[in-house]
Amino acid sequence: MSCAFSWELQQGLYWALNAAPEITNLATVLDATSAPVEGEYVSIGEELVRQRGPGLSQHDVLIEVHSAAQGFAQAKIIAAEVGNVLLLTPPAVTGATVTDLRFLKARAQRSKGTERRLITLTFRILIDAN
């Protein structure tokens, strides 16, 4: 089953981002948001999983950087750190191996309300269960 390691990947991403002081000194890392959050924060977003072969799955994961700042500067600094951390130290996935992790794209957007800036990063992660 191609999404067998989806939860383990989400946990690995959460712990990798939270273990990086270069991120946690700038923003809070959240797995989900149920209430408004003050300041900058990083959240693990949607995921698209595809089977790539026996025991091999491709996970396209969105990581979102949220900011209440007027400009994009702080959000872009945080987004760059997220990319650096994940590319240099891929997340641990219990019961499987991350064989490849690539940055695919980023999108910076203006938002309404208190959350004025949103940067969505897309990463492609290949997981081998063998």
pLDDT at 4: 81
The CATH number of the domain holding residue 102 is: 3.30.2000.30
Question: What is the number of domains present in the chain?
Answer: 1
Residue 112 in any domain: the answer is: yes
- Which tens digits make up the pLDDT trace of 41-67? 999 989 999 999 898 999 999 999 999
Q: How many CB atoms lie within 10 A of CB 9?
A: 24
In a domain, residue 15? The reply is: yes
Establish if 118 belongs to a structural domain: yes
Q: Going residue by residue through the chain, which has 130 residues, state the pLDDT in tens, using 9 for 90 and above.
A: 467 899 999 999 999 999 999 999 999 999 877 666 778 999 998 999 999 989 899 999 999 999 988 889 999 999 999 999 999 999 999 999 999 999 999 999 987 766 689 999 999 999 999 8
The rounded distance, in Å, linking the Cα atoms of 71 and 31 is: 25
Domain membership flag for residue 60: yes
3-state secondary structure of 10: helix
Which domain range does residue 30 map to? 6-128
Between the two ends of the chain, the Cα-to-Cα distance in Å is: 13
What is the pTM for the complete model shown? 0.91
Instruction: Work out the number of other CB atoms within 10 angstroms of the CB of residue 81.
Output: 21
